Structure 1
């Protein structure tokens, strides 16, 4: 019986690195961030709702949603973040569920979902995995990756459930404080156990 495996982590914890590696090993990985972007494409129902709520100032010159502008709003205002989530998440779930059903016929399916536990989506998984790093590594990686100040990086990290809490809730944990090779070895061990 094929399993639904939820993969999560915190911002800059290495979840995407783990996800990419799992994909390279031939497993379908449904990435919630990709579905979220798709849900906000022009012509999609979420696009109009987001522009109606947040205003035309969040659009770029091509009338696409400027994610950086939107991010500055939602990462500093919890109620605005909740509003965005209430618009985007139902559409993301619908699209992911369609693909999950199709892929499950052939293989185990990984769901790459940053807010797996926050949104209660772990209940739809047979197994959950948290990719984690310690807080200093997370802060340094996020500041470097996104060219953020320490204050902005901390605001983004603090907008999510702590990695410690995600580790407690997960069936398995992948420690990403070391090298990619170390992470890949942990993933291989997990995949071989399926």
Structure 2
């Protein structure tokens, strides 16, 4: 089994690369998706979040009200650390279970948005960084996700710098062009991963 870390700044196209890798045969473990699952209604994770932050973080349907929780933790390192102390161990545990269920010869890709920020590169055999120019990322966030330019710039600035991400990369997938160009690049990366497997 090969453990691959996949990361990239917001708007770089990391999800598209993840989808392409899966289409070529990778087993994907998506940290963001797992982070949502471990605080779904009825989970011990959600109960722990409510105990820590109060019932105000629940919506009328009993699900986590992410904007309400975000308003509490955004810009408050102590409260954010308290949230991470609940969620991160649950995500790690579920990721480990999913990884253990993969075939012995699988290429397991962990999609980890904050890989560089949290210094997690040592957990993987190789790290792939999806990279795109700042202006390209900005345009994608405004055009595809409907963000205002100031909001998009703030989200980008809150993440690791491009230099910090590239510093942890074993492989870089440049994504300034079309999806067809990206598919060709990812196919090359997949071949490379297969040739180093074992």
TM-score by length of 2: 0.88
For 1:184 and 1:81, how far apart are their aligned partners in 2? Answer: 36
Number of residues of Structure 1 aligned to a counterpart in Structure 2 = 193
Residue 122 of structure 1 corresponds to: 121
CA 1:79/1:132 → structure 2, altered by over 3 Å: closer, same or farther? farther
Residue 151 of structure 1 corresponds to: 150
Check conservation: 1:76, 1:155, Cα contact below 8 A.
no
| Cα RMSD (Å) | 1.9
> What is the deviation of 1:81?
3.0
> What is the deviation of 1:26?
1.9
For 2:100 and 2:152, how far apart are their aligned partners in 1? Answer: 36
Residue 107 of structure 1 corresponds to: 106
Unaligned runs of 5+ in 1: none
1:59-138 mapped onto 2 (5 Å cutoff)? 59-138=58-137
Residue 52 of structure 2 corresponds to: 53
For 1:131 and 1:163, how far apart are their aligned partners in 2? Answer: 10
Moved more, 131-140 or 14-23: 131-140
SS of structure 1 residue aligned to 2:22: helix
> What is the deviation of 1:52?
2.6
Q: Deviations over 1:58-82 (max 9, x none)?
A: 3222010122333444444444333
CA 1:79/1:136 → structure 2, altered by over 3 Å: closer, same or farther? farther
Q: Deviations over 1:27-83 (max 9, x none)?
A: 111100111001111222221222233333332220101223334444444443333
> What is the deviation of 1:142?
2.1
Unaligned runs of 5+ in 2: none
For 1:156 and 1:187, how far apart are their aligned partners in 2? Answer: 26
TM-score by length of 1: 0.89
Check conservation: 2:2, 2:105, Cα contact below 8 A.
no
Residue 139 of structure 1 corresponds to: 138
**Does 2:189 match 1:190?**
yes
